[in-house]
Amino acid sequence: MPTLVGKEIGSTGFGLMGLTWRPEPVPQEQAFEAMKAALNNGMNFWNGGEFYGPPEYNSLVLLERYFAKYPEDAEKVVLSIKGGVGAVGREPDGSPENTRRTLDSCIAQLKGRKKIDIFEFARRDQNVPMKTTFDVVQKEYIDTGKIGGISLSEVRAETIHEAVKIIKVVGVEVELSLFSRHIFDNGVAEACAKYDIPIIAYSPIGRGWLSGTIKTIDDVQPQLRVWPWFQPPNFAINLELAGQVAALAKRKGVTPAQLAIAWTKRLSTWREGAPKTIIPIPGATTAARVTENAVLVELEDEEMAALDETLGKFPSAGERYPEGIPTNT
């Protein structure tokens, strides 16, 4: 089994974002059922965020309520939380003052029910030296046992090479799916392999493209409909790719999401320059979807080759984020 901060985790993790960061969050009991299903299926690495929803109902509020109801689950979960944006607005802020604010706020919101095993700054603050930020994290939070370790999020290769000289990096969270393969072209995967850093792969189902549920723009979550992937002509191209992946999944007797998650993991032994550990963290809002995503699927070399052939026909259609949202920091 893979490990993070010295703790064993399942080969598939669980992304919490969709439980609170949407115009109308799912009912709390439904969220609890999804979280419990994740644990029951071995998905004990959970990834949430301070800004995944408003302060009164973000990942941390949901987690505190869950662990209040199920205190026995706290030690079973390896928890990663993203933060580091300014208290006002969503700009990255790695200043010592905001570093203390974001960490203290996250810790306080959990009310002592669960330790944050891993903390991530959601984006690198280009205006503050990483050493300034990480010296505060190391001396005031890791060394004192308040959190377990630091992971990087949405960074470029140069940031990884710089960060490992300052602090122990326990993971690198990046977007990785059949729709987002950029880390194998921009040096990020190679950097993680060099330092034996696990990749935490968010959006492995391609922001819903590989769920099998998107046929028209009306099937896309409202907050995502203006994103480049879902705009013409990108929508038609991506819909065709999703259809071809679905056909391959049908031939194997699995769902498109299961195939997509399996492909992400298999890259660790298939793609040259990949790190040995890749942990996809699909999100889901129902216990049934969580259970579907947890099914372990093995892909043979011929199946990976077939997927490579399909992907070769589909260069990326649309940027991953709208203009103005920083990426590859």
Which residues form the catalytic set? 52
CA–CA–CA angle 135, 137, 141 (5° rounding):
130
Q: How many CA atoms lie within 13 A of 269 on its CB side?
A: 8
- Cβ atoms within 10 Å, residue 99: 25
**Rounded Cα–Cα distance for residues 250 and 305 (Å):** 17
- Exposed, middle or buried: residue 271 (CB in 10 Å: 0-12, 13-18, 19+)? middle
Name the pairing type of β-strands 278-280 and 169-175.
Answer: unpaired
Phi, psi of 231 (to 5 degrees): -100, 150
**Rounded Cα–Cα distance for residues 329 and 294 (Å):** 31
- Exposed, middle or buried: residue 145 (CB in 10 Å: 0-12, 13-18, 19+)? exposed
Q: 3-state DSSP call for residue 85?
A: strand
Q: Which of 215, 306, 230 is nearest to 263 (CA)?
A: 306
Phi, psi of 85 (to 5 degrees): -90, 165
Q: Which of 163, 123, 115, 165 is nearest to 141 (CA)?
A: 115
CA–CA–CA angle 304, 308, 311 (5° rounding):
135
Q: What residues does 177 pair with on adjacent strands?
A: 180
Residue type, 56: E
Q: Quick check: bond before 322 cis, omega within 30? A: no
